[in-house]
Chain A
Amino acid sequence: MDLKLTQSTVNKTKQHIQTAQQWDVIVIGAGVVGCAIVRQLTLNGLKVLLLERGADILSGASKANSAILHTGFDAVANSLELECMRAGYKEYIEIRHKLNLPLLKTGALLVAWNEQQLSQLPSIVSKAHENGSDDVKQIDLPDLIKREPNLSNNALGAVEISQEYVIDPWSAPLAYVTQAAKAGAQYQFNCEVTDGEFDGKLWCLETTIDKYKAKLVINCSGNNGDIVQSICETPKFAIKPRKGQFIVFDKSAYGLVNSIILPVPTATTKGVVITKTIFGNLLLGPTAEEQQDRYDTSVDANILQNLFACGVKMLPDLEHHGITATYAGLRPATQFKDYQIEANPSKNWVGVNGIRSTGLTSALGIAKYVEKLCLENFADIVPFNNLKDIYWPQMPNLAAHKPRAFEIGDGTEIICHCEHVTRGQLESALKSEIAAKSVGGIRRRTRVMMGRCNGFYCSAKVSELTKGAISPPQDSDGGKND
């Protein structure tokens, strides 16, 4: 029965997109980077098609991160990553009001937990200043205690990064791709690119749904970056997925910290962070484990227990708060530290790869950089033409610190009691421009079933309310999880 459903969905979407059509650009991968690039290019008047193997945007690496808008204070100097982060940060701040995207101005404190770490703080400050983060400064222990009275007394001192903020990791990319879709971009989900051929003028991509033609292909396929890249060329990099596991604490823990609590980074990882989430929870993570599998986002009980213990060591009160969720994300790391963004001028291809943990911050900056690459290499084949009337969609607010639907009153009752999601919100998410088509999609658009009870109260009701709109009923996202 499921198979039939899938087939009918496929037929329907086939009619929707005329396959004889040809696009200026095909973007492969609807992660945060793909969404931002589709937006940037569409707003430049290009005809863009977005192909995604999952059932929704953000089905892979982008759905699981720490949701921090980084300043890049600790990024590698003169790196492309730093350039894109700074540009992405700046543009997010500029456009967020127009898209109704939230920003929780927490600031961050990078805390030293031993003498050796304490001795590293001055060099972290000077490196931050070299990176252009002039606001970064060291603070002493009394100041740290005043700001974060709940930290354990092992803390010795800290560096303040006042402009590191918390954002909504799901609504932001959804806003980018919604804006693009309103301006004419098209998209196809459940559509995995399997192969492709370039005839010197046009790319013809083979997918699990159909063949699609475009003048230019942009590969943003995250953890499948090298596989997709090999359609065009022998990749110069290999994706080495690095797993990060997280624990989300109940809303009662939200106020335990004021700032984002960062550790002193090591050579391999930025380390375990404690941060508020924009949704009013407290997040602990990530861990860092290298693995071969590109889809295995399983969590590990022992690692989670260690992570929990590590959290309690920094913030003893955590022990008194319930765990709402655990999850794991895979960072599309490569053997290189920096991003691997390159145009192949002879093959009309741009590879946007190795976007590790900073993609949420840098996405808009990466999109600008890709635009520049296109102008430099492909100006003759893809004509840029700034759109005059740009539509700015207003994203429904999910942030806890701003008025939400249930507080204002949208004329409907609350369905999900832990996250206070109204029936009206669910209905809008099913009707929106980029409508939720999977359980993961509706969860990310509304927060439904994301709370402490994990659907104890509302999952059956939500399933009933979304019947028919989410098909097939037992689907999951491309990341094989919801």
Chain B
Amino acid sequence: MTDFDSDFNCDVAIIGSGPAGIGAATALAERGVKNITIFEREEHIGGIPRHTKHLTFGLVAFKRPMTGPAFIKKILARCKNVTIRTNISVIAIKQDSTFEVATAQGLQTVKAKHIILATGARESTRHARLVSGMRPRGIVSTAALQQFIYSFGARPFNQAVVVGTELVSFSAIWTLWRAKIKPVAMIERNHRITAYRPAVLLAKILRVPIYYNSQITNIESINTLKAVSIMSDSGVKQVLNCDGIIFSGKFVGENSLAVASHLLLNPQTDIPFIDENWQTSDSDVTVIGNAVHPADMGDQCYLEGLKLGSFLADKLAQNTVNSAEFIPIEHSSDIKMTTPNMVRLDNETSKTINICFHVSKIYWGLVTVKFAGKTVYKKRHRCMPARRITLKNIRLDPFDINDKTSIEICFS
């Protein structure tokens, strides 16, 4: 066997062609980096926005609302001098910036100088949520629903219940309504919707009742899906007839490649360790986008990709290696994850960083950041699940770094 004589060898390999991957490729190419390849396992590029035909893209990046496909078309137009390979699945990330891909002809090992993982996020499943009941057909995610309807013109059921009230959940009822599938109800665990409050208007217009403080207690089926039973915190039970259930939102990073690799994971979140420049424990591998912060807007991922691309182009030009100490950011389980989730600091230079995070529970109040026991940030925030909360301009001054140094985010 010859070593890495793959046709796919490249300088920068970007895995995933969603907004983050395209953004990174664009900025790298614009800064003169050659031999950039995007590897996409699907037939078409664009990632999740490809089948989201709602006007939830473009506002931040281009100051005008556009659909997912229009957004992808727009950002691809700027992405030049980049090789894009579709229907190629990356199977494993290995040491020394090599990785294994599956093609129609089987496996091969590919060598790059740098790997960017931009594998995105997906909604958490019925099974991962440990929901009671039978397992009939007709239980899908919003993304699957949108593919059924927008990509294949299929109508997988007639009346469906949507679990969750995130932005994507409202996208789901809108998709259902457009496909003439009756949105029977939305079910929310908390006392208010997770998305911004005005989203309730959409449910009102479409006459979709929202059951608050409620959860599914059973999925009933006799040959096919018949109904879901729900119960509120006060013990009120309801049976909602339906032949479809959409488990929406509760995004998780699609990190299976990173998890199976040599990259170090944050033990609190099982997400790869990344610093303020998205660099992992291996200086030749970067993870960006919704894989590490499931799930922010496509625009944010695109802008993040552009930023990383610029950073990485400089880094590749200078050939620098991360030598600084690696300090994890710690937090309680009320915080789902932070980006970055570690900071690289040395004993000489100050650093000012932003920390973004998502919460798993509603929290309105004081957020404090402590660095080696000292408070370096203190401000009130309204933290809602499924939203990006940003702690800005946290100044970390150099000092004696030892094993016990930590950055800690506290709710108090």
Contacts and interface: CB of A to CB of B under 8 A. Distances in A.
Interface string A451-463: 0111111011101
Interface of A: 248, 250-252, 296-302, 304-305, 308, 320-327, 406-414, 417-418, 420, 439, 452-457, 459-461, 463-464, 474-476, 480-482
A420 B138 contact: no
A376 to B, nearest CB: 41
Contacts of B105: 409, 411
Contacts, number: 144
A30 B134 CA distance: 22
A439 B292 CA distance: 33
Contact of B136 (A300, A460, A476): A476
A298 B219 contact: yes
A474 B126 contact: no
Contact of B141 (A323, A439, A456, A475): A456
Contact of A407 (B41, B43, B102, B125): B102
Nearest to A412: B104
Contacts of B152: 460-461, 463-464
B127 A482 contact: no
Contacts of B131: 299, 301
A282 to B, nearest CB: 14
Q: Which of B103, B126, B256 has the most CB of A within 10 A?
A: B256
Contacts of B206: none
A297 B104 contact: no
B102 A414 contact: yes
Contacts of B96: none
B156 interface: yes
B218 A298 contact: yes
26 contacts: A251-B256, A252-B256, A297-B135, A298-B133, A299-B133, A300-B132, A301-B131, A304-B130, A322-B252, A406-B102, A406-B106, A409-B102, A409-B105, A413-B43, A414-B41, A414-B89, A420-B89, A454-B125, A457-B122, A457-B144, A460-B147, A463-B156, A464-B154, A476-B223, A480-B222, A482-B137
Interface in B138-159: 138, 140-141, 143-144, 147-148, 151-152, 154, 156-157
Contacts of A459: 140, 144, 147-148
B267 interface: yes
Nearest to B136: A476
Given A302-B132, A406-B106, 13 more contacts: A298-B218, A305-B130, A320-B270, A322-B252, A325-B127, A407-B106, A409-B103, A409-B107, A414-B87, A456-B123, A474-B157, A476-B224, A482-B137
B325 to A, nearest CB: 25
A325 B375 CA distance: 43
B132 A298 contact: yes
Interface string B199-228: 000000000000000000111011110000
A474 B154 contact: no
Contacts of A417: 41, 89
B60 interface: no
Q: Which of B141, B144, B222 has the most CB of A within 10 A?
A: B144
Interface string B100-126: 001111110000000000000011011
A310 to B, nearest CB: 14
Contacts of B260: 251-252
A185 B10 CA distance: 55
Contacts of A481: 134-136, 221
Given A420-B89, A480-B136, A326 B130 contact: yes
Nearest to A299: B132
B128 interface: yes
Nearest to B247: A454
B181 interface: no
Closest 8 CB pairs of A and B: A409-B106, A460-B147, A454-B125, A409-B105, A413-B87, A301-B132, A460-B148, A456-B122
Contacts of B102: 406-407, 409, 414, 420
Given A409-B104, A480-B221, A456 B144 contact: yes
Nearest to A326: B127
A417 B224 CA distance: 27
Contacts of A476: 136-137, 221, 223-224
B259 interface: yes
A300 B130 CA distance: 8
Contacts of B372: none
Interface string B218-242: 1101111000000000000000000
